[in-house]
């Protein structure tokens, strides 16, 4: 159903959600789904400043483990959300879903390159038609060893294998 | 009982005779069949497909769309599977879906 794209599959009993800025918005839906299915779910959220400070209230309402990071203001752990993966072994049994700015996703792609579980990037692009016809919302996805193909966020996505996304 | 007046919408465009003057813009209608999922394209006067190239083209790197004060700019870069695939896969579907101009 475009532009909602394809359903996001959740298969693991342990799910880590990593959100950057407003990217955290869709992760609430995944979190509630996991909670309703009795999966273990954890959130790492990162923000530039305190403009999203109120979102902590919404995260607390989920009643799950979470950590918040802030780059400029000090209402949360200092630094970028990727700091939350400092002890990456803690999440070795987790499937990881990420949503946020491309620079953040690129950092996570590097940090999670050896991760055993699933790593999923939930992407966003400017859309015109939203139904898979105009090819405006293209994202570059690795295909074969050196090749790539352009897929459409509105109809093929929004979730893609983080390892296969090419962040030019 | 009043007869309903049905206005005549048929037009001629060069040598083409169209049943109405509603034509899709090129570049917005894919290969001409995708929107059949939403409505019957045969109600239109004519359909224009996106441009096709001799060989397949990947198109431009993203971003391909940018919002402006007046609307959007787009530069898709002619992503298309090539004219051979259009002829083999899409044209038969178009012929089934869309009635010929009369």
The string of pLDDT tens digits covering residues A121-145 is: 999 999 988 888 999 999 999 998 7
B30: closest chain A residue by CA: A133
B78: closest chain A residue by CA: A135
| Average pLDDT, integer, range B7-19 | 92
Interface predicted TM-score (ipTM) of this complex, two decimals: 0.79
Chain B CB within 8 Å of residue A141 CB: no
Residues of A in contact with B37 (CB under 8 A): 131
Classify burial at B85, counting beta carbons within 10 Å of its beta carbon; exposed 0-12, middle 13-18, buried 19 or more: middle
Lowest mean pLDDT among A14-18, A41-45, B76-80: B76-80
Chain A CB within 8 Å of residue B1 CB: no
Is the per-residue pLDDT at B102 higher than 50?
no
Pairing of strands A65-70, B71-74: unpaired
Chain B CB within 8 Å of residue A114 CB: no
Instruction: List all residues of chain B from 18 to 37 with a beta carbon under 8 Å from chain A.
Output: 27-30, 34-35, 37
Query: Which pLDDT band, with edges at 50, 70 and 90, does B6 fall under?
Result: confident
Return all residues near A110 (Cβ < 8 A) that are at least 6 apart.
none
CB pair distance less than 8 Å for B29 and A128: no
CA–CA min distance A39, chain B (Å): 36
pTM for the full model?
A: 0.87
The residue among B30 and B101 whose pLDDT is bigger is: B30
* The pLDDT value given to residue B41: 87
N- to C-terminal Cα distance for chain B? 32
| Average pLDDT, integer, range A107-116 | 95
- Taking the C-alpha atoms of residue A134 and residue B50, their distance in angstroms, rounded to an integer, is 9
Instruction: List all residues of chain A from 39 to 98 with a beta carbon under 8 Å from chain B.
Output: none
CA–CA min distance B15, chain A (Å): 29
Return all residues near A65 (Cβ < 8 A) that are at least 6 apart.
A42, A43
Is the per-residue pLDDT at B34 higher than 90?
no
CB pair distance less than 8 Å for B61 and A168: yes
């Amino acid at each position: 159903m475009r532009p909602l794209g394809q359903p996001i599959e959740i298969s693991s009993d342990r799910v880590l959600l990593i959100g950057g800025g407003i990217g955290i918005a869709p992760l609430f839906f995944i979190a509630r789904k996991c909670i309703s299915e009795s999966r273990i779910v954890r959130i790492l959220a990162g923000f530039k400043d305190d403009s999203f400070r109120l979102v902590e209230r919404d995260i607390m309402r989920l009643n799950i483990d979470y950590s918040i990071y802030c780059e400029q203001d000090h209402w949360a752990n200092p630094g970028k959300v990727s700091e939350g993966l400092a002890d990456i072994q803690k999440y070795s049994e987790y499937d990881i879903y990420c949503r946020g700015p491309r620079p953040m996703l690129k950092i996570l792609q590097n940090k999670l390159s050896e991760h055993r579980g699933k790593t999923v990037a939930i992407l966003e692009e400017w859309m015109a038609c939203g139904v898979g016809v105009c090819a405006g919302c293209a994202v570059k996805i690795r295909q074969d060893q050196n090749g790539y193909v352009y897929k459409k966020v509105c109809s093929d996505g929004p979730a893609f294998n983080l390892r296969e996304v090419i962040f030019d | 009982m009043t007869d309903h007046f049905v206005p005549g919408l048929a037009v001629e465009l060069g040598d083409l005779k169209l049943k109405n003057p509603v034509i899709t813009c090129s570049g917005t209608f894919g290969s001409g069949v995708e929107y059949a999922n939403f409505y019957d394209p045969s109600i239109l006067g004519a359909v224009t497909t996106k441009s096709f190239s001799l060989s397949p083209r990947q198109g431009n790197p993203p971003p391909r769309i940018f919002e402006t004060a007046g609307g959007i700019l787009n530069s898709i870069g002619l992503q298309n599977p090539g004219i051979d695939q259009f002829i083999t896969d899409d044209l038969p579907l178009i012929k089934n879906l869309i009635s010929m101009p009369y």
